[in-house]
């Protein structure tokens, strides 16, 4: 029996006078859902006794949160490498970071960019040997392919009666889009961080030659920076009964809204990224910016 509530439903909505289908991966599980549930599902189905999950990234990472929950559930340790905390975050743990700490996450601090954090993770892997399960930032590794393959099989059945469907997901590390593009045709994405060229490099590093189409925004907000366009989309969908995260999926909807003419004769399937636990801290940023 699967730990996750699969298959997730495909639901139809009307947004801005256009029909969309949403793959509700936010409903997979209360604590681990969206693309992180898909990427890490294989870890839920094996014994992790005596193992150490090791990863790296930012203080509010969705991957960090998901891995902390898995380690708590499976009775193994989770070590996370990140930059030193601000005094404020030390004294006021919030959002994904606070939940991951509660789940028993061990922190290793290392000052530097993502490459420095990655190199420190490699060092720890070498020192601890075979008991380490190393997961790169965003889950960009072979472990993810099993869960994304299962998602692809679900989608194959979901869309078999749709007319000329296309599949869209927003990319961080590019992992979901890369593997989906390997398994299914007509997969589209947009980068939440970096540009089209940067995302193409990521996609090829995961699954070389994956035929994923990358869409760009006319004016793309800096990663995770509050933007009134994103919050407007967030509120519109909330009124329709679906919450999306403010960093990834609202950006994806903004991108789709700019490219609607490209898909006039297509049925659009949008894969929900989950990650809603991060909306609390993101809304605080919106309040500080005077947007809400």
Distances in Å between the Cα of 225 and the Cα atoms of 45, 58, 137, 272, 285 are 36, 15, 20, 20, 8
What are the pLDDT digits (tens) for 40-68?
Answer: 999 999 999 999 999 999 999 999 999 99
Q: For 68-94, what is the mean pLDDT? A: 96
Question: Residue 261, exposed/middle/buried by CB under 10 A (0-12, 13-18, 19+)?
Answer: exposed
Tokens of 166: 């296309």
CATH number of 38-134: 3.40.50.1100
How far is Cα 84 from Cα 115, in angstroms, rounded to an integer? Answer: 15
pLDDT, one tens digit per residue, over 211-251 is: 999 999 999 999 999 999 999 999 999 999 999 999 999 99
Q: How many CB atoms lie within 10 A of CB 196?
A: 12
- DSSP secondary structure string for all residues of 72-111: HHHT-EEEEEEPPPPHHHHHS--HHHHHHHHTT-EEEE--
Rounded to a whole number of angstroms, the CA Rg of the chain reads: 19
pLDDT for residue 37 is more than 80 = yes
Distances (CA, A) of 231 to 189, 264, 279, 291: 20, 25, 11, 8
The Cα-based distances of 47 to 13, 51, 78, 103, 104 in angstroms read 40, 9, 14, 18, 18
Of 41, 46, 83, the C-alpha closest to 66 is 41
pLDDT higher than threshold 70 for residue 1: no
Contact 54, 121 (CB under 8 A): yes
Element holding 53 (H helix, E strand): strand 52-56
Residues spanned by CATH 3.40.50.1100 within the chain? 10-30+142-289, 38-134
Average pLDDT, the chain: 95
Alpha carbons 135 and 90: distance in angstroms, whole number: 25
pLDDT at 199: 96
pLDDT band at 116 (very low <50, low <70, confident <90, very high): very high
**Which numeric CATH code is attached to 10-30+142-289?**
3.40.50.1100
Per-residue confidence at 186, pLDDT binned at 50, 70, 90? very high
Query: Which tens digits make up the pLDDT trace of 251-270?
Result: 999 999 999 999 999 999 99
Read off the pLDDT of each residue in 94-116 and give the average, rounded to a whole number.
96
* Residue 122 pLDDT exceeds 90: yes
Distance between CA atoms of 125 and 220, rounded to whole angstroms? 36
pTM (2 decimals)?
0.95
Residue 138: pLDDT band by 50, 70, 90 thresholds?
confident
Mean of pLDDT values over 89-94: 94
Across the strands, what pairs with 22?
11, 270
Q: How confident is the model at residue 3 (pLDDT cuts 50, 70, 90)?
A: confident
């Amino acid at each position: 029996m699967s730990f996750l509530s699969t298959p997730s439903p495909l639901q139809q909505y009307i947004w801005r006078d256009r029909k969309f289908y949403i793959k509700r991966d936010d409903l997979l599980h209360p604590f681990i859902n969206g693309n992180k549930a898909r990427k890490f599902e294989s870890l839920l189905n094996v014994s992790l006794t005596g193992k150490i999950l090791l990863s790296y990234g930012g203080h509010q990472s969705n991957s960090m949160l998901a891995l902390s929950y898995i380690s708590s559930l499976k009775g193994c340790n989770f070590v996370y490498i990140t930059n030193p905390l601000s005094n404020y975050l030390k004294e006021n743990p919030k959002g994904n970071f606070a939940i991951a700490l509660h789940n028993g996450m061990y922190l290793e601090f290392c000052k530097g960019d993502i490459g420095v954090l990655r190199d420190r993770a490699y060092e720890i892997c070498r020192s601890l040997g075979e008991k380490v399960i190393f997961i790169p930032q965003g889950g960009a590794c072979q472990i993810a392919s099993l869960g994304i393959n299962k998602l692809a099989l679900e989608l194959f059945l979901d869309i078999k009666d749709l007319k000329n469907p296309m599949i869209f997901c927003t990319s961080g590390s590019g992992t979901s889009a890369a593997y989906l593009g390997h398994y299914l045709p007509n997969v589209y994405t947009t980068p939440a961080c970096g540009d089209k060229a940067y995302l193409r490099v990521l996609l090829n590093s995961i699954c070389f030659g994956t035929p994923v189409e990358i869409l760009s925004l006319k004016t793309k907000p800096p990663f995770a920076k509050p933007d009134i366009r994103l919050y407007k989309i967030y509120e519109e969908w909330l009124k329709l009964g679906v919450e999306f995260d403010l960093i990834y999926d609202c950006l994806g909807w903004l991108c789709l809204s700019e490219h609607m003419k490209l898909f006039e004769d297509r049925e659009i399937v949008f894969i929900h990224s989950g990650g809603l636990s991060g909306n609390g801290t993101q809304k605080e940023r919106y309040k500080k910016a005077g947007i809400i």
